[in-house]
Structure formats: structure tokens, C-alpha cells
């Protein structure tokens, strides 16, 4: 599920919600989702204070006062949701929950657009339940169990294989068109979609923003990198930064599972031009319909008129 904008949105939300809190207890039920031994959990997690929340690529890092960190990858269906102490009538602002005249929370059935997970957790997808000393909770939910949360010394994070190999942050000032073109050209013989999905080329782009940026740059996702001009790649660089920034502004994309730190959905999907728009008109060519095909083993959306191989 979550790509860079979704993870960034969770990071920003969590920063304002858990920094300064002290961990009091931790529950976990699946070694794939949370592999650490109990002894380490007790020693480095219990009584630890949250110092800061960071993001690198699609990975979240919660730094603790014990010089340990929680490193989290949400993969396809992971969620990190904070729930304040008591769900009383007067809740913290911005929770996204609808309320009736008496300021009580309204109940919604599953799938309602205004539905929220807050008040329903933990549930059967909860893999880790962190309780803070003020009785608030941070839940790590993950339906498909692809994601993970692990406790490790802060200083060792950079030595993880993933961090040693991962490419530059696409929204950093250093990530110029020149840098992008140099890196993407190392993947001469593959398709441009596979190249920008490759986290060692650049960090953070997943299936949604790959399709969205390729449409923006008018490049067919199956085009071989060697067949694309520098001018087109320069345009793609700009589009990648544009769609990522726009999505962060909209709180990310909720296609199925994604929710932010308050259990609320993102709205980028409402602004998408091609992703999940198969059968809808292309914004540039209202007479042409967006099609869905398969490129780089992934569902791929494109306009057959403005994106030619």
C-alpha cells in the first residue's frame, strides 16, 4: 500500500502525537510482524521515551531514548494508528470522526467513506499494540503480514541492507534532473516503469505514482529506458516530484487499506489522472479511455493516445 506520500503523512501525524510519550507496555502476536525477543523488548522498549519520528524511503523510524529505534515497513497493508486515552465526547481536534449534535461519535459500518479505525482497535489485524504511560495506544495493523516492525539499535539502522542500497529521496534538493537521469540510465534494458519502481534507482515511488508520473510525462510505461530521450526523462523527473508533493498535500492515496496516524483516509486518489481510472476519459483526450494493462508484473494504467511506446 503505502508509498512515499503515505509514509510521509503517517510520519507527520505521528510526530505530533507520540513524541515525548513513554512506552509502558507492548503486545505482539506474530514473529514475522515483530521478531524481537522479549528480553530486548523489556530492556529497550519498556520505559523508553519517543524522541522523534523519521522517514527514509518507505520506511518509518521511531527513535527512542534508549538509543534503540522501532523501524517499520508497512509494505502493502500495514497501518500505524494512534488512539488517545479515552474516546469521550470531547476528543482531540482533527480526529476526522463525524459527530452528532451531542458531540458523540457516530458509528459507521465497515467501508463507509467516513469510517475510522479509531475506537475499533485492536482488531484481528493488529500485530503490535504499544501502550504509552498515559494510556494512549499506537497500533500496528497489517492484514497481509508482509509488513514488519523491529526494534534495533539506532546506530545500526544505516547498516541494514535496504538502507545501504536504497536510492536518493526524490523530494530532496539534491535530487536534480541530472541525478535522476544518470541513475535511471543504469537500467538501460528494462522498462521505464520497472526502473522508477526500483528502490535502488530512487526511493519512494510505487505503483500509483509510477503510473501517475508516467502519464504526466507522456511516456508509455513499457518503453525501454534506452529509447527515451533526456528531455522526456527530465519531464518525468519533474512529474515524479509533482505527484509526490501533490499527494502529500492531499494526505496520500487511499485505494483500499491506507489510513494516516489518526485512522483517517487520504484523498489523492480523487485527483489521480490514470490510476484506477480504467474506462474513464483521459484528462488530455476526453475521447480516449484510460486502459489497464500489465507492465513490470504490475497493474498499469495509461492513455493509449498520449503514451505511446
Partner DNA sequence: CACTTGACCTGTCCGC
Partner DNA sequence: TGCGGACAGGTCAAGT
- Which residues are near DNA by CB under 7 A? 1-3, 6, 32, 57-58, 73, 75-76, 124-125, 143-146, 161-162, 186-191, 194, 197, 199, 206-208, 252-258, 294, 296-299
What's phi and psi for 20, nearest 5 deg?
95, -15
**Closer residue to DNA (CB): 91 or 298:** 298
Q: Which of 105, 238, 298, 304 is catalytic?
A: 298
Shortest CB 156 distance to DNA, Å: 15
CB 158 within 8 A of CB 42: no
3 is catalytic: yes
Sign of CA dihedral 266, 271, 273, 279: positive
Shortest CB 49 distance to DNA, Å: 28
Sequence-distant (6+) residues with CB within 8 A of 29 are 126, 127
Whole-Å CA distances, 172 to 44, 81, 169, 180: 32, 27, 6, 12
**Closer residue to DNA (CB): 100 or 161:** 161
Shortest CB 235 distance to DNA, Å: 21
Pairing of strands 50-56, 23-28: unpaired
Shortest CB 36 distance to DNA, Å: 17
**Closer residue to DNA (CB): 136 or 257:** 257
Rounded to an integer, what distance in angstroms lies between the CA atom of residue 139 and that of residue 29? 12
Q: Which of 21, 55, 58, 193 is catalytic?
A: 58
**Closer residue to DNA (CB): 85 or 156:** 156
Task: Just list the catalytic residues.
Answer: 2-3, 58, 298
Amino acid at each position: 500500500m503505502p508509498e512515499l506520500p503515505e509514509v510521509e503523512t503517517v510520519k507527520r501525524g505521528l510526530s505530533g502525537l507520540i513524541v515525548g510519550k513513554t512506552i509502558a507496555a507492548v503486545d505482539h502476536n506474530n514473529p514475522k510482524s515483530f521478531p524481537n525477543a522479549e528480553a530486548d523488548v523489556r530492556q529497550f522498549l519498556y520505559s523508553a521515551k519517543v524522541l522523534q519520528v523519521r522517514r527514509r524511503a518507505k520506511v518509518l523510524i521511531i527513535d527512542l531514548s534508549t538509543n534503540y529505534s522501532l523501524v517499520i515497513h508497512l509494505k502493502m497493508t500495514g497501518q500505524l494508528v494512534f488512539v488517545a486515552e479515552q474516546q469521550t465526547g470531547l476528543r482531540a481536534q482533527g480526529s476526522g470522526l463525524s459527530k452528532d449534535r451531542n458531540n458523540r461519535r457516530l458509528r459507521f459500518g465497515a467501508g463507509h467513506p467516513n469510517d475510522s479505525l479509531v475506537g475499533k482497535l485492536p482488531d484481528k489485524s493488529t500485530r503490535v499494540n504499544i501502550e504509552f504511560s498515559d494510556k494512549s495506544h499506537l497500533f500496528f495493523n497489517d492484514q497481509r503480514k508482509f509488513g514488519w516492525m523491529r526494534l534495533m539499535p539506532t546506530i545500526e539502522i544505516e547498516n541494514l541492507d535496504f538502507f545501504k542500497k536504497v536510492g536518493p529521496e526524490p523530494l530532496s534538493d539534491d535530487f536534480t534532473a541530472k541525478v535522476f537521469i544518470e541513475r535511471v540510465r543504469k537500467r538501460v534494458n528494462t522498462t521505464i516503469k520497472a526502473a522508477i519502481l526500483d528502490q535502488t534507482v530512487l526511493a519512494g515511488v510505487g505503483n500509483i505514482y509510477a503510473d501517475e508520473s508516467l502519464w504526466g510525462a507522456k511516456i508509455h510505461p513499457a518503453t525501454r529506458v534506452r529509447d527515451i530521450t533526456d528531455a522526456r526523462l527530465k519531464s518525468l523527473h519533474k512529474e515524479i516530484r509533482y505527484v509526490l508533493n501533490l499527494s502529500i498535500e492531499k494526505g496520500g492515496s487511499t485505494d483500499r487499506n491506507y489510513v494516516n496516524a489518526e485512522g483517517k483516509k487520504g484523498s489523492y486518489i480523487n485527483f489521480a489522472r490514470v490510476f484506477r481510472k480504467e474506462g474513464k476519459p483521459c484528462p488530455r483526450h476526453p475521447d480516449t479511455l484510460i486502459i489497464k494493462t500489465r507492465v513490470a508484473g504490475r497493474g498499469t494504467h495509461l492513455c493509449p493516445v498520449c503514451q505511446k511506446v
